[in-house]
Structure 1
Amino acid sequence: MQIPNADYLERTGSKNLGARLWRLPPASANTLHRHLCAEEFYFVLEGTGRMRVGTQTLTVPRYGGVLVGPDQLRQVFNDTREDVLWLIIGAPEELELLPTAATRPDLSKIYPVDPTQLPDELEGVQWPPSTSSHSS
């Protein structure tokens, strides 16, 4: 049985800690982002993880982990042929800490560049995949 993506923060109601399972299929990535105050711990449960932290590209073996500090750009991606299952542990969203959070948060603090930007290893991949349907 495959474990789907899940956000356990919502299920527990925790205000200080979150845990997510992310299954990344081949040729996919999450958003390039950073956090203002929170550290995140990325742990590979299945497959071989690939991620960029700042200007470094890392390969994380199964049962290996990486701690990413606040204000560091990070993005997990999958340029392998197998699914990769990540356990990501960190703090909840920090939108309340952003300037003008009461009205419209300045998301450029978390997404300083295009969040859909893919790492060089996924050049030519369209992510997220197009949702347009083709009729015959």
Structure 2
Amino acid sequence: MSYSVLGGGEAFWRPSNQMGVLNTDLAKQLGVDGFGARLWRLRPGQASTKHRHRLTAELYVVLDGEGRMRVDEDSLVLPRLSAVFVSPDSVRQLFNDGDADVLWLVFGAPGEAANTLEMDEETMAFIYPEGPKALPPELASDG
């Protein structure tokens, strides 16, 4: 078959392994190999993992809400429909310090194993230089 379809109400959503952020693996559900594609819904006070990759470059698109993101030392505020390209070696993290949900579409290529439950310690240390549950300063608690 030359295409596959995943209807809007058919996507399987689950909390991420480390941060509990709702996401759906579009590429897997569509049977796509070679790149990753996910929707991430960050509720107020949530963040994705602070991470980098060995091979995968990623394209982030804010579909709904106002997106907040850190890339290396830069903090970005992104209005709806903004896009950001991040090279593999840059450390990046989505977060939501606002009052409403933010929906992101994230594409990555080439595909790279990303299941934290299956990574060895060396890979975990490279991918997550501050650990898989590090929060950005905007969400770090004072107490």
Report percent identity of matched pairs.
Answer: 45
Counterparts of 2:45 and 2:128 in 1: how far apart (Å)? Answer: 21
1:63 to 2:67 alignment? no
Counterparts of 2:98 and 2:32 in 1: how far apart (Å)? Answer: 34
* 1:40-55 superposed matches below 5 A: 40-55=58-73
Counterparts of 1:78 and 1:104 in 2: how far apart (Å)? Answer: 29
Counterparts of 1:94 and 1:23 in 2: how far apart (Å)? Answer: 21
The aligned amino acid for 2:40 is: W
Q: Which blocks of at least 5 consecutive residues in structure 2 are unaligned?
A: 1-7, 14-22
* Deviation for aligned residue 1:93: 2.6
* Deviation for aligned residue 1:118: 0.8
Tell me which residue corresponds to 2:93.
75
Contact 1:29 1:76 in 2 (8 A): yes
Match of residue 108, structure 1, among 116, 125, 143: 125
* Deviation for aligned residue 1:105: 6.0
Tell me which residue corresponds to 2:136.
119
Counterparts of 1:10 and 1:105 in 2: how far apart (Å)? Answer: 25
The TM-score normalised by the length of structure 1 is 0.78
Contact 2:62 2:103 in 1 (8 A): yes
Which secondary structure state, in structure 2, belongs to the residue aligned with residue 120 of structure 1?
A: coil
The TM-score normalised by the length of structure 2 is 0.74
RMSD: 2.6
Tell me which residue corresponds to 1:26.
44
Q: Which blocks of at least 5 consecutive residues in structure 1 are unaligned?
A: 96-100, 126-136
Contact 2:55 2:112 in 1 (8 A): no
Contact 1:36 1:94 in 2 (8 A): no
Once the two structures are overlaid, the 10-residue window that deviates more, 48-57 or 108-117, is 108-117
Which secondary structure state, in structure 2, belongs to the residue aligned with residue 121 of structure 1?
A: coil
1:8-46 deviations in Å (ceiling 9; x for gaps): 121123221111000000000010100111110000000
* Deviation for aligned residue 1:104: 3.8
Match of residue 8, structure 1, among 4, 23, 26: 26
Contact 2:125 2:131 in 1 (8 A): no
